[in-house]
């Protein structure tokens, strides 16, 4: 009950306009929230997980390529690698889903379709649903065991000729922290890790326990549900805060849950087809952005971000697909978000995929009992 009271206080505070004092108050409330969660029996939970779960055999890697059937690659199994369509001469995208999800649900499915429609990349979907389809506490403390399995997989495909400079790991929610922990475990830094609204609940401790800028050569993060499901702190080289980073996103109404949380990957998916659609400005806070009190530095949020980008970046989006507003907001600062804006063409398939399921009901364990990996 105390946790939910703290969350309510944070949400109420986030709706108040004001000075930096309000912002400091919100950050203090979040700090109290995490300290309250920190009293949970962390080590007992890890002992329980170690006792009852076999972690080495329940993280799966499925390769998707154009004109090839999906193929599972098993770490250490050279035959599974040689029988796949893995191409060491193209970029490799590794997708990590979040809680109550799998490699064929929402995030991973939309992301792999977008990439394969735009490029003939190696797209590898990680399936850790054996742990993610569980109570959040169990899923949260499973990530410390899932991440090393991903690190082993990356090192395995490096042995097949994949260049670490061509590897991009993308994770949503808890998957973002798994990506970071995997990067932390590796002996060599991959080119890029993208965190899409990294999860906040039960994430505490130093940078070795979460996504951090040291986990890859370049780390970019998109924040869409600050103070609720996602973290607010800037953990990457470049942190993007569309519409202030939340806690609500335009078009989600008062839905603080999946709609807002999922916007992070929906924005990114659109950027795969429109790399310069989400122009963001480096700024010291949302208030300064809305009052045009920012620098002249900008970066493109999503797929097309420059690896030289550093700092916090802010931007606005539309309320429904296509979300990208280009640089119109910055040039006019007077936008009717119901207007149509220039954007790269999305195929009918991707536009339909981005539009459908825009409003979700909160998932429950029962929704997923039929999953083949359970």
For residue 173, is it left (φ>0), alpha (ψ between -120 and 50) or beta? left
pLDDT tens, position by position, 32-73:
545 544 444 444 454 455 545 555 568 999 999 999 999 999
Rounded distance, CA 328 to CA 330, Å? Answer: 5
Higher pLDDT, 344 or 241: 241
C-alpha 228/C-alpha 258 separation (Å) is: 11
CA angle 345, 347, 350 (to 5 degrees): 115
For the chain, give every domain's residue range.
1-39, 40-368
Q: What is the pLDDT of residue 238?
A: 98
Q: Give the C-alpha distances (Å, rounded to integers) separating 228 from 139, 169, 248, 311, 313.
A: 18, 24, 9, 22, 20
Mean pLDDT of 330-343: 42
User: What does the pLDDT read at residue 319?
Assistant: 95
Which positions are catalytic? 173, 197, 261
**What is the distance between the alpha carbons of residues 202 and 243, in angstroms, rounded to a whole number?**
25
pLDDT, tens digit, 9 for 90 and up, residues 314-324: 999 999 999 99
**Residues paired with residue 71 on neighbouring β-strands, in sequence order:** 63
pLDDT digits (tens, 9 = 90+) for 155-202: 999 999 999 999 999 999 999 999 999 999 999 999 999 999 999 999
Looking at residue 308, its pLDDT comes to 97
Give the contacts of 125 (CB within 8 A, at least 6 positions apart): 61, 62, 64, 95, 97, 103, 104, 108, 112
Q: What is the CATH number of domain 40-368?
A: 3.40.50.1820
Q: Indicate yes or no: pTM above 0.85.
A: no
342 C-beta neighbours (distance < 10 Å), count: 11
Reported as a single tens digit per residue, the pLDDT across 284-322 is: 999 999 998 999 899 999 999 999 999 999 999 999 999
- Residues in Cβ contact with 68 at an 8 Å cutoff, skipping those fewer than 6 apart: 84, 85
Instruction: Please answer whether residues 176 and 221 qualify as being in contact, where contact means their C-beta atoms are separated by less than 8 angstroms.
Output: yes
Residue 35's Cβ-side half-sphere holds a number of Cα atoms within 13 Å equal to 7
Q: Report the candidate in 353, 313, 305 with the shortest Cα–Cα distance to residue 329.
A: 313
């Amino acid at each position: 009950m105390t946790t939910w009271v703290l969350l309510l206080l944070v949400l109420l505070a986030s709706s108040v306009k004001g000075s930096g004092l309000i912002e400091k108050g919100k950050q203090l409330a979040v700090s109290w929230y995490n300290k309250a969660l920190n009293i949970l029996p962390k080590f007992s939970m890890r002992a329980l997980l170690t006792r009852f779960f076999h972690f080495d055999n329940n993280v799966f890697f499925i390769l998707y390529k154009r004109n090839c059937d999906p193929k599972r690659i098993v770490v250490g199994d050279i035959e599974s690698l040689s029988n796949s369509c893995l191409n060491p001469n193209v970029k490799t995208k590794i997708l990590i889903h979040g809680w109550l999800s799998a490699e064929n649900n929402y995030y991973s499915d939309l992301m792999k379709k977008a990439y394969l429609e735009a490029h003939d990349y190696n797209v590898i979907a990680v399936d850790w649903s054996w742990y993610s389809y569980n109570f959040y506490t169990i899923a949260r403390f499973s990530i410390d065991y899932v991440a090393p399995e991903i690190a082993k997989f990356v090192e395995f495909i490096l042995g097949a000729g994949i260049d670490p400079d061509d590897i991009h790991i993308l994770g949503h929610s808890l998957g973002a922290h798994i990506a970071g922990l995997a990067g932390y475990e590796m002996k060599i830094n991959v080119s890029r890790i993208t965190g899409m609204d990294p999860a906040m609940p039960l994430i505490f401790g130093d940078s070795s326990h979460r996504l951090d800028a040291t986990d890859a050569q370049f780390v970019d993060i998109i924040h869409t549900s600050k103070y609720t499901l996602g973290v607010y702190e800037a953990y990457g080289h470049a942190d993007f805060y569309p519409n202030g980073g939340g806690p609500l996103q335009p078009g989600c109404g008062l839905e603080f849950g999946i709609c807002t949380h999922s916007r992070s990957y929906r924005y990114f998916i659109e950027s795969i087809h429109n790399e310069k659609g989400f122009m963001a400005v480096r700024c010291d806070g949302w208030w300064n952005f809305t009052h045009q009190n920012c620098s002249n530095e900008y970066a493109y949020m999503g797929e097309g971000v420059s690896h030289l980008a550093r700092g916090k970046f802010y931007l606005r989006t539309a309320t429904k697909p296509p979300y990208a507003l280009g640089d119109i907001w910055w040039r006019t600062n007077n936008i009717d978000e119901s207007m149509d804006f220039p954007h790269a063409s999305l195929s009918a398939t991707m536009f339909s995929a981005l539009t459908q399921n825009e409003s979700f009901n909160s998932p429950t364990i029962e929704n997923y009992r039929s999953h083949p990996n359970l």
